Amino acid sequence: MNTGMVRAVYRIETPFPLDHAAAVMAAEQSTGTFIAVPGESEQLKALHAARVLSIETEESAAVPSLPGASSASAGARFNRGTVTLEFPLVNFGPSIPNLLATVAGNLYELRELSGLRLLDLELPEDFARRYGGPRFGVEGTRRLTGVYGRPVIGTIVKPSIGLSPEELGELVGRLCDAGLDFIKDDELNADPPLASLERKIQAVMPVIERAADRTGRKVMYAFNITGDIEELKRRHELVVRHGGTCVMASVQSIGLAGMAYLRSFSEVPIHAHRNGWGMMTRHPMLGMSFAAYQKLVRLAGADHLHVNALDSKFYESNESVIASVRALRTPLSGTGSCMPVLSSGQSAATAETTYRELGTVDLMNIAGGGILAHPDGASAGVASMHQAWEAALAGVPAAEYAAGRPELRRALGTFGRRA
């Protein structure tokens, strides 16, 4: 593609002919508006107008997907198709916020459309040169955790809210002794008044350091530093000053510009949580696909990015999760790798399917209840996760591998019913 252009692929629905709707989209997001205006010369349009590159037709629909579209005549159908537009980079430059205003802005408001979904983006390398992408990614995370040849196995602090710093420190101590690689704050818990981030760090890091002295391996703890922009640097520095090796931020809360700001000074991996993502993607004719979203989050600097998980507790299908992991593992020109984070309803009962379907160990497999709710305790929960992955990598059915391994056998009996 022309390096001075951005391509955006959309799925649209409209009561108008597809070519008319596509032309309206291109004009609205570049040089045009609802009526011709002085100054929109042919010369200006040649330099700045968006272009319709292609249109692929789908089967039409009898009723509109979204409210507010222009009314159609009685009995009319709503046309669906895939539209590719091309936008001159000179219109907005290598700026993620201004890119979004173009490819995902007022398009969603147009009356000509009864459905719109951004499916994918092709971006010139100017964006990678501007933003840099992940600083650590898969390789840096493996180096810091000392984990090779298998997934990074982790858990989430549960209960999500309500533990005192002292109780949190005790829990982390048990999890370190159990042999975990990674622990993260829940997205609900960042800097609450009754258990501030500073007090959490002071309770957790000495425990992690003592465990590292005993074992020679330092557990990576992702402290949730989500907050207002002016708080991100202070909170990051607090984590690093106390020896922490990871920070976590909620992408939807701080925005992509906030993520890029955090990346500009971060000395440790950024664990990007996508909570709130469902409202952007759950409807098939609205929002944005993960294929487009993950490119922007990676450019902004995420080293780890959540993708839900196979056989999870959420609505997303396994096929969608598999596609998300593949998208994250596809190289993004000019940037480093980003580690997929499988979280939600995970346990030893999900490892076999996960490895069979994904075929990679470059993952974080995070189990909250699947570790902490193991009937024999968290240590047995961690052991069951390790055993399940050993079985998966050896190509041995988990139920067979569980013979003589009570931790795995009990996990399969407890969690296998919901997998």
Domain shared by 243 and 117, yes or no? no
Question: What is the Cα–Cα distance from 186 to 184, expressed in whole angstroms?
Answer: 6
Domain shared by 189 and 231, yes or no? yes
Does residue 129 form part of some domain? no
Of 124, 156, 177, the last residue of a domain is: 124
Domain shared by 115 and 221, yes or no? no
Domain assignment of residue 228, given as a range = 137-415
Domain shared by 265 and 318, yes or no? yes
Of 124, 159, 175, the last residue of a domain is: 124
Domain shared by 148 and 114, yes or no? no
Bridge pairing between strands 182-184 and 152-156: parallel
Give the neighbor-by-neighbor strand order of the sheet with 79-88: 51-57, 79-88, 5-14, 115-122, 286-288
Angstrom CA distances, 308 to 143, 292, 322, 353, stand at 24, 16, 10, 14
Domain shared by 386 and 289, yes or no? yes
Does residue 163 form part of some domain? yes
Does residue 357 form part of some domain? yes
Using alpha carbons, select from 69, 73, 220, 87 the residue that is nearest to residue 144: 220
Domain shared by 166 and 20, yes or no? no
Question: What is the Cα–Cα distance from 119 to 107, expressed in whole angstroms?
Answer: 14
pTM reported for the whole predicted model: 0.95
Domain shared by 74 and 172, yes or no? no
Q: What is the CATH number of the domain that holds 343?
A: 3.20.20.110
The sign of the dihedral angle between the CA atoms of 165, 168, 172, 174 is positive
Q: What is the CATH number of the domain that holds 96?
A: 3.30.70.150
Domain shared by 231 and 336, yes or no? yes
Does residue 269 form part of some domain? yes
Does residue 257 form part of some domain? yes
Domain shared by 67 and 181, yes or no? no
Does residue 188 form part of some domain? yes
Of 124, 146, 175, the last residue of a domain is: 124
Domain shared by 43 and 118, yes or no? yes
Question: What is the Cα–Cα distance from 288 to 347, expressed in whole angstroms?
Answer: 29
Q: Which helix (H) or strand (E) holds 57?
A: strand 51-57
Indicate the length of the chain as a whole number.
Answer: 419
Domain shared by 358 and 231, yes or no? yes
Does residue 130 form part of some domain? no
DSSP 177-217: HHT-SEEE--TT-SS-TTS-HHHHHHHHHHHHHHHHHHHS-
Q: pLDDT (tens digit, 0 to 9) for every residue of the chain, 419 residues total?
A: 567 999 999 999 999 999 999 999 999 998 876 667 777 778 888 889 999 999 999 999 999 999 988 876 556 799 999 999 999 999 999 999 999 999 999 999 999 999 999 999 999 999 999 999 999 999 999 999 999 999 999 999 999 999 999 999 999 999 999 999 999 999 999 999 999 999 999 999 999 999 999 999 999 999 999 999 999 999 999 999 999 999 999 999 999 999 999 999 999 999 999 999 999 999 999 999 999 999 999 999 999 999 999 988 888 999 999 999 999 999 999 999 999 999 999 999 999 999 999 999 999 999 999 999 999 999 999 999 999 999 999 999 999 999 999 999 999 999 986 54
**Rg of the chain, C-alpha, whole Å:** 24
Report how many domains make up the chain. Answer: 2
Does residue 306 form part of some domain? yes
- Beta-bridge mates of residue 81: 12, 57
